[in-house]
Structure 1
């Protein structure tokens, strides 16, 4: 793609977690962090939580690359994965940095096989060995968290009274703590019932988002492992509900809505891509 080649895109979202989705299967795009940040900027770009590139794959129907609002490339995004069948017009297997994911439309919703979670400290990853079910680490008065890798790293805090927690301060503090060499997504959860959780997520590289699919998966799994909940678990985020099902030793299934909002055309030469 030359600097002045018009670039079609779709604006999509899953529960308000919004994306600019670009098809690179026929027209390769030289994406880097500055350009991703410029497109994601809500004042001078299109605006999105994540920029998604759909490409060709030798192992699956399509591939997916994911760039956060800050330009960092990440391994997985559950809400974006649900958007891919709408974008391609069919059920698909998707190659990601987190592995192969299968997404299928079920009525007005989309269900995704998110693969198997990982719990080893080196799989999260953490800076050193520790129990990931009840980590001997905390910040302020937060309770010991659980850590789960569901294609990307998550830490989960179960709170009795979320309103008393300064999430806006603690989210970025925990995200960038040296305990997490690749940074981490921070989940603040409240158990409503043994099959219902309310969740707020500080997302690595994006901040607060209206929904985080992998965060919902990680939180439900942590609750099931701690025997606080049983699957399927309804996870309520600011943007709405996701249904997460997981049996220990099995794959994670995430089901929820996805929306195609509008199509547009980017002029890459019009963006000021700052380093």
Structure 2
């Protein structure tokens, strides 16, 4: 099974063309491929391009736990670069269908950046979803591991819980992220960001990604956190999001329509031997 591997700010994905898949790419195979010891190792699998009735391409996104994700900002940038490397797209923008809605992307070869119009950010509980009475989920309390946090929730096609924090750290994300991800108020679980506002143009986040765990960078997490900072009046409409893996530029148009720009690095092409899928004692 052929694959290509890329990373976006340390968030690495394996891209697999469905035409190269023998049999079904089920959850067990996905978990094995993404395993850092028994497989190639990655933060997820991008399965595409797939024919789409509504867009130029369709993409399915899988987390390393085998579950399917609605949308991934870094994954979409990586997939866009993959399409460019295969000469399936050029300088003009193109559309990609995802489970979290359609997006428009463009590769900028002169800078090595990829821009993705991520769609509209929503804060209403019915759309995220968050349990309880219908409302915008802004500055609510959540308890995890005996500690109380103030959070806002948002969706950009996938659910996010943005926790306001003066000192976000990897340790904080690892200790409390898993507990918040699986809190019963989030019926589809949630991605978690611990956010510090640096000034009106910059924020810093640490990320616990649903189905993947602690992550160096995330495009959809960056978009959600930046949207919350704008919603709270703490930042302007152009925000640089700083993460352990690097930074992304997020820009909002009226109505919280988000545009994300950031780099993609190609790592390698390879072939998955069928032996790795054979059961061994």
Q: How far apart are the structure 2 equivalents of 1:258 and 1:174?
A: 29
SS in 1 for 2:234: coil
Residues 229, 73 of structure 1: CA spacing in aligned structure 2 closer, same or farther, 3 A cutoff?
same
Alignment equivalent of 2:241, drawn from 210, 235, 242? 235
Point out where structure 2 has 5 or more consecutive residues left out of the alignment. Answer: none
What does 1:57-76 correspond to in 2, within 5 Å? 57-76=52-71
Q: How far apart are the structure 1 equivalents of 2:244 and 2:267?
A: 19
Question: 1:34–1:273: 8 Å Cα contact kept in structure 2?
Answer: no
For residues 105-135 of structure 1, what are the alpha-carbon distances to aligned partners after superposition, in whole Å with 9 as ceiling and x for unaligned? 1232100000111221011111222441222
Question: 1:35–1:273: 8 Å Cα contact kept in structure 2?
Answer: no
1:167: Cα distance to partner? 2.6
Q: How far apart are the structure 1 equivalents of 2:178 and 2:203?
A: 22
SS in 1 for 2:253: coil
Alignment equivalent of 2:229, drawn from 223, 228, 246? 223
How many residue pairs match? The answer is 268
1:29: Cα distance to partner? 5.6
Q: How far apart are the structure 1 equivalents of 2:81 and 2:107?
A: 8
Question: 1:211–1:240: 8 Å Cα contact kept in structure 2?
Answer: yes
Tell me if 1:37 matches 2:42.
Answer: no
Question: 1:45–1:271: 8 Å Cα contact kept in structure 2?
Answer: no
The equivalent residue for 1:171 is: 177
1:218: Cα distance to partner? 0.2
Alignment equivalent of 1:135, drawn from 121, 140, 156? 140
SS in 2 for 1:146: strand
The equivalent residue for 1:88 is: 83
**What TM-score comes out, normalization by structure 1 length?**
0.91
RMSD, aligned α-carbons:
2.0
1:162: Cα distance to partner? 2.6
Residues 166, 27 of structure 1: CA spacing in aligned structure 2 closer, same or farther, 3 A cutoff?
closer
Indicate the larger mover: 120-129 or 203-212: 120-129
Q: Which of 1 and 2 has higher RCO (CA within 8 Å, sep 6+)?
A: 1
SS in 2 for 1:49: coil
Tell me if 1:17 matches 2:11.
Answer: yes
Question: 1:176–1:184: 8 Å Cα contact kept in structure 2?
Answer: yes
1:201: Cα distance to partner? 0.5
